[in-house]
Amino acid sequence: MGVQPPNLVCKKETCRASKVPTINLSMDRSVVSQQILRACEEYGFFKLINHGVSNAIVSMIEEESFDFFAKPASEKQQAGPPNPFGYGCKTIGLQGDTGDLEYLLLEGNPSSVSQKSKPISNDLQIISGVVSEYVQALRGLTCDILDLVAEGLCLGDKSVLSRLIKDVESDAVFRVNHYPPFDQTPKVLNPAHKFQTEDADTSANNDESSRVGFGEHSDPQILTILRSNDVGGFQFFSQEGFWIPIPPNPAELCVIVGDTFQALTNDRFKSARHRVLANSSNKPRLSMMYFGAPSLNARICPLPEMVSSHNPTLYKPFTWCELKKAAYSLRLAGQRLDLFNSKPKLWAPTPNEGMIDPIFEAWNLRLQKE
């Protein structure tokens, strides 16, 4: 079997990355609307420039975040584990997934970021003070993007999507991920200056090529807006079946279509699966994500304009709470939307899709009777 030279593989990856849509929000609104629509249909992912989010706010969050992650593990652990907000290290979700990272989860509703962080930790309350203004900006940006999508889709109600985010009970979340650098020679954890994730054993002798910073998954929410520092590692899975690395650019924002958006558009948009490779740089990677979500009791189903006799509805109505519960009950790579197909098949967990909630056992039993 022939093996492609490394430089050829690198050139192909660079070529694919260069085709990823980069959208300039300062252009004519009708043009931007169509560009966003096309990017959501073809990629489920795009990059934004001239987005209007203050660099000063981002710098403040980075500074406060790096200060927090530089603290001794014993101090950081006082702010965790996340329940649902707080500090976490290596553990992702509830079903045994892990990654080479530590993170902070914070309330994503601007009006209550600080209030809900105060009972967890004084450190988090300090960070939440600068996060609140950033989240407010990203919430507005998310609503603008959704309105542009509604215009591109010629929806009768141009605010039908953004209202889900503007809801005072919106279940949005803000996350900061910190990926420490790794020494590629001995293949063991090489802590950054003052960085600690554990007090004792931090050995990791796996082959570097098998390391994953954050495993393959899709986001269950409507939209995710991601910003990272100048350290790479982020990749998304194209509809052609390739993992496309996204070169880091702190001036850009990445927009990712989530599962809820896929359901709302009746699969016209597909949620983008993505991952982060373990950090092989000599400096830490810091990324921050705003996950735009509706309220827990929001009813999700394909929009009327997305359904026709030739394109019947693909999903039964469900609430955001039900989809969120499915996300927590499956492994990170689980295909949670399959549970809400209008004509679902019997489902069983694969090696990458564990589940513990008996609600899904009842689901399969009910299907057998239908």
Catalytic residues: 285
CA trace torsion 134, 229, 291, 353 (10° rounding): -160
Identify residue 311 by its one-letter amino acid code. Answer: N
Please enumerate in sequence order all residues whose Cβ is within 8 A of that of 292, keeping only pairs 6 or more positions apart, or say none: 108, 138, 139, 142, 165, 170, 172, 221, 222, 223, 224, 225, 258
From first CA to last CA, the distance across the chain in angstroms is 48
Using the Cα atoms of residue 157, residue 159, residue 163 and residue 164 in order, give the sign of their dihedral: positive
Query: Between the CA of residue 65 and those of 105, 224, 289, what are the distances in Å?
Result: 12, 20, 13
Which of the 8 DSSP states describes residue 305? G
Angle, alpha carbons 152-342-216 (nearest 5°): 70
Alpha helices by DSSP H, listed for the chain, are 6-18, 29-42, 55-69, 73-76, 113-117, 122-152, 162-166, 259-264, 320-329, 358-369
On whether the CB atoms of residues 307 and 80 are closer than 8 A, the answer is no
CA distance 26 to 83: 40
> Which strand (E) or helix (H) includes residue 291?
strand 285-292
Residue-wise burial string across 224-247, b where 16 or more C-beta atoms lie within 10 A, e elsewhere: bbbbbbebbbbbbbbeeeeebbbe
Tally Cβ neighbours within 10 Å of residue 309.
5
